[in-house]
Structure 1
Amino acid sequence: MSVRGHAPSPATAFVLLLPLLLAAQPVATDSYLPALPEIARDLGSASASLTAFVLAFGIAQLVCGPLSDRFGRRPVLLTGLAVYAIAAAGAIFSPSMAVLVGFRVLQGFSMAAILVCARAAVRDLYPAHEGPHVMARGLTGLGVVGLIAPVMGAFTVQEFGWRWVLGGMAVYAALLWVLCLRLFGETLHRPGAGEPATPKGSVREVFASPSFRAWASVAATTYSGIFAFLLLSPMVYIGYLGLSPIMYGWIPAGGSLVYIFSTTMCRRLLRRLGVVHTVQLGATLSCTGPLIQVVGCVLAPQSVVPLLVGHAVYCLGHGIHQPCGQAGAVGDLPHLAGRAVSWSGFGMMLVGFVVGQTAASFVDPQSSNGAWPMVVPMLLAGMVLMLIAFFWVPRLPAPSTARRP
């Protein structure tokens, strides 16, 4: 009997790999959060390394998208995983903040290749109307890793030091490279004789799509609130409220647990309500969560309870918006999947960077502004999501049911 008969199909193998590929991001960020205070004590301002990482990740997507459209998803993905592992390994030995930032920038560039190829492959293999379901399934797996990553990061920092966290990232990427080498087949459709190649002026075509603009805005807005939490929550919970790194590690882990539930719920809601009403429900949750935090900041500024409850409710909305936003941005552009994914991803990182840096400017060593620098950006994101979900998304055309040729 032929062994080939038992080999998984490209779509089946990809479904197994997608959560692990998407999880490269929380491995690089969530496990890193508990290490920020210790890195700051050893090398200086630790937020610079996280900010540089995110900025590099956003910019690099503009390069990786066209590269994956031209050369294929597989070679770009494998190169990205290899560089990710090398950069994480090099960062272990950083003697200064400048060197650490340099390696984190390299890691951000490589992570762009991983996520662009993973998201573009969804559109390669599935029609637009199935994209949110597939992304929700993949993001559920990402949530599982996101649940484990901050707890493992906090434990590693407390027991072994922050450099071992980076070693864990290197091992993760190396193992994933081996899996992709064996299981990830090329998903990009190659034009045959007489078929047109990728058209010139394709970036204009991406931004001419009403669906791309709306869904990319959903993804960028919801991410801006989460990034404000990622960047500022260590300062709020550890610096302002006095939690230990181990105790803090359970907070993003708890958010990931809610995110897992939400992405699972998203698949059911899409079948029952359709994408428009599902996103409207998500926007309501995304706005309600920060409102709970606002009430807590006013009435009980030293209590973690309203901050935690509000964060959980926001994460419920985030778990709905991300699969819908990421899949919807590329739904009408199967022939430009890499470019659409890259510009959508760049928008997420750009908005997150601007919002995060603006909010961080209101944080001082005495935490004189309390939790407000973290809460206000999340509230603004929730309000913008309400506007998009109720006044923009309902006007979009229905997603295509055709697969990519």
Structure 2
Amino acid sequence: MTGPSLRKARFDLGFGLLLPLLLAAQPVATDSYLPALPAIAKELGSASTSLTLFVLAFGFAQLLCGPLADRFGRRPVLLAGLGCYAVAALGGAFAGSVAVLAGWRTLQGFSMAAILVCARAAVRDLYPAHEGPHVMARGLTGLGVVGLLAPLLGAWLVQGAGWRWVMVSMALYALLLLALCWRSFGETRRPLAGDLSAPGGSARAVFASRSFRAWASLAATTYGGLFCFLLLSPMVYIGYLGWSPAMYGWIPAGGSLVYIFSTTLCRRLLRRHGPVHTVQLGAALSIAGASIQALGCWLAPHSAVPLLAGHAVYCLGHGIHQPCGQAGAVGDLPHLAGRAVSWSGFGMMMVAFSVGQIAAQFVDTGFSNGAWPMVAPMLLAGCVLLAIAFLWLPRLQHPMKKESP
């Protein structure tokens, strides 16, 4: 292999290594932040606003970053996002009030949208649709490794140095990734013939795709259930069950370990059964995990065992749904990859925000509802996932048809 083919192979190898690091910007910003929430609340006041605004910014910013990435290319939008991510994390480290922290976290959410939109769109730029789920599964396996370490590092920093060093570590991660991408990430977007931008009316074209609607709904539903865990589990385990922040840090870390295994399993299932049957198995795992937690809340409300076991099973399903959902949403839209990714990501964040805000209303200082506010949304997500996997996806004529990029 010589010439352009060799250069393409080298670039693909570089992207294969960069993809999990880019996707991991999300758990670095969220999972490492979770153990810091009680410490932030103690020093500055309630930190839930900063997490909420972060999610909102991440969701809405994707609607802007997708068209920008389609028009100007992935590389400049990605580099700008990484730079702003680092600046926002450093700003949050020096915040003197909840309002200032929330402002910096909002900018960080905006920046993370640019990073993830460009990373996911580049997958569609470089690989045909039928390879997308496999590539995303590999990338999400690497994300799971970072997600395994992030809450442990966050808990260790909170206890040993204070929550502000969690923010500093986020900035260092972004700066390192910025240097790697500046050197190794080339432009992946292919200009359309006769035009450098995507065609007009592209948002309508995205939603006209039956495949996009189905697979994006799958990704949004599974993430909505998991987000309620991310939002409320510190209150449940630290506040309700009395665990220390260091002990709590092992819970999202353990979930990431299961997620790593699940994304690896997803690749094998895709080769053997195809995407629809794969997500049907994932839906069965999702509802089973949520049901275990619900039985625990009913029969043993003060025991962590069913909560932990159910969370592990739900994460098995989540690790199957995410690669298929994210890649499937953009599979039929190679010419609108940035916009398709952005609308899919926006849907994920809006579902997560809406369900999370409703669930949070049932958490009080006395924890009179126990773990139910965290568990009930996951149970609802499991039911919806079953409906999508067994009733909606099989009706698509070509769920993941093969095509060249």
> How far apart, CA to CA, are the structure 2 residues paired with 1:272 and 1:199?
37
C-alpha contact 1:127 1:400 (8 A) present in aligned 2 = no
C-alpha contact 2:71 2:197 (8 A) present in aligned 1 = no
Deviation at 1:274, TM superposition (A): 0.9
Matched, 1:55 2:56: yes
Matched, 1:137 2:162: no
Q: Deviations over 1:254-312 (max 9, x none)?
A: 00000000000000000011111100000000000010011111111111000000000
Matched, 1:386 2:386: yes
> How far apart, CA to CA, are the structure 2 residues paired with 1:70 and 1:331?
19
Deviation at 1:199, TM superposition (A): 1.6
> How far apart, CA to CA, are the structure 2 residues paired with 1:7 and 1:201?
32
- Aligned letter for 2:177? L
Corresponding residue of 1:338? 338
Corresponding residue of 1:221? 221
Q: Deviations over 1:226-252 (max 9, x none)?
A: 100000000000000000000000000
Unaligned runs of 5+ residues in structure 1 are none
Deviation at 1:403, TM superposition (A): 2.1
Corresponding residue of 2:157? 156
C-alpha contact 1:125 1:403 (8 A) present in aligned 2 = no
Corresponding residue of 1:89? 90
- Aligned letter for 2:169? G
Report SS of the residue matched to 2:46: coil
> How far apart, CA to CA, are the structure 2 residues paired with 1:43 and 1:339?
38
Deviation at 1:10, TM superposition (A): 2.2
> How far apart, CA to CA, are the structure 2 residues paired with 1:321 and 1:397?
20
Give the count of matched residue pairs.
402
Q: How does 1:3-402 map to 2 (within 5 A)?
A: 9-193=10-194, 198-398=198-398, 399-402=400-403
Q: Deviations over 1:347-366 (max 9, x none)?
A: 00000000000000000111
CA 1:391–1:10: 2 relative to 1, 3 Å: same
> How far apart, CA to CA, are the structure 2 residues paired with 1:34 and 1:238?
9
Q: Deviations over 1:199-250 (max 9, x none)?
A: 2111000000000000000000000011000000000000000000000000
Report SS of the residue matched to 1:392: helix
> How far apart, CA to CA, are the structure 1 residues paired with 2:162 and 2:238?
17
- Aligned letter for 1:57? F
- Aligned letter for 2:186? G
Q: Deviations over 1:27-48 (max 9, x none)?
A: 0000000000010011111111
Q: Deviations over 1:83-119 (max 9, x none)?
A: 0000001111100000000000000000000000000
> How far apart, CA to CA, are the structure 2 residues paired with 1:312 and 1:380?
17
Unaligned runs of 5+ residues in structure 2 are none
My pick for the range that moved more, 316-325 or 390-399, is: 390-399
> How far apart, CA to CA, are the structure 2 residues paired with 1:231 and 1:196?
41
RMSD of aligned residue pairs (Cα, Å): 1.5
C-alpha contact 1:290 1:311 (8 A) present in aligned 2 = yes
Deviation at 1:3, TM superposition (A): 12
C-alpha contact 1:140 1:263 (8 A) present in aligned 2 = yes
C-alpha contact 2:72 2:197 (8 A) present in aligned 1 = no
Percent identity between the aligned chains? 74
Deviation at 1:12, TM superposition (A): 1.6
- Aligned letter for 2:181? C
C-alpha contact 2:219 2:326 (8 A) present in aligned 1 = yes
For normalisation by structure 2, the TM-score amounts to 0.97
> How far apart, CA to CA, are the structure 2 residues paired with 1:105 and 1:25?
14
Runs (4+) off by over 4 Å: 2-8
- Aligned letter for 1:118? A
> How far apart, CA to CA, are the structure 2 residues paired with 1:168 and 1:196?
38
> How far apart, CA to CA, are the structure 2 residues paired with 1:36 and 1:255?
19
CA 1:215–1:3: 2 relative to 1, 3 Å: closer
> How far apart, CA to CA, are the structure 1 residues paired with 2:39 and 2:63?
33
Q: Deviations over 1:164-208 (max 9, x none)?
A: 000000000000000000110000001344x79522111000000
